[in-house]
């Protein structure tokens, strides 16, 4: 789609929903939902613009995020952490098992497939809105098992 996207991060339900615009230019069409883990420093409200991105990035705690996309400051979308840069076998599976719960320092942790989708498809300047609701949103909360 060349219409662009709008991202809503629901830190209450730990789900990210990606929207595209309708014929009137409103971002009302949900296209993808991603289960995530948020954390104590995750913004509770506000809207920010996507900034930089890195295929691999060193994170707090001497771990690495794969497909990291900057939202604001040190708050990023990224994969569940890895113990070693460039080593897919070093994924912290015990952190992967926490997806859908509050588990990060503040970043938005995603499956590798979902982090890669944002990295590849969401351009710089895309708006990201933070809010909290017990309602996971129109597409619910789903795990992606393909498109890796």
Where in the chain does DSSP place strands (E)? 5-10, 15-20, 29-35, 46-49, 53-59, 63-72, 75-79, 108-110, 127-131
What tokens appear for 60 in the block?
């707090």
Of 36, 66, 78, 144, which is the active-site residue? 78
What is the 3-state composition of the chain as percent helix, strand, coil, each rounded to the nearest 5? 10, 40, 50
**Annotated catalytic residue 78:** yes
**Annotated catalytic residue 107:** yes
Q: Which residues of 54-78 are buried (b: 16+ CB within 10 A; e: fewer)?
A: bebbebeeebbbbbbbbbeeebbbb
Which are the catalytic amino acids?
78, 107
């Amino acid at each position: 789609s060349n219409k662009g996207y709008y991202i809503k991060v629901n830190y209450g339900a730990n789900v990210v929903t990606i929207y595209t615009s309708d014929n009137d230019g409103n971002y009302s069409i949900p296209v993808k939902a991603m289960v995530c883990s948020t954390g104590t420093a995750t913004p509770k409200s506000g809207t920010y613009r996507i900034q930089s991105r890195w295929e691999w990035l060193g994170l707090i705690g001497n771990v690495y995020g794969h497909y990291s996309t900057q939202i604001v400051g040190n708050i990023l979308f990224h994969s569940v952490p890895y113990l070693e840069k460039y080593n897919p076998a070093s994924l912290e599976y015990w952190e992967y098992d926490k997806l859908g719960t509050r588990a990060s320092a503040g970043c938005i942790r995603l499956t590798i497939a979902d982090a890669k989708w944002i990295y590849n498809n969401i351009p710089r300047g895309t708006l990201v809105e933070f809010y909290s609701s017990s309602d996971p949103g129109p597409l619910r909360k789903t795990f992606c098992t393909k498109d890796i």
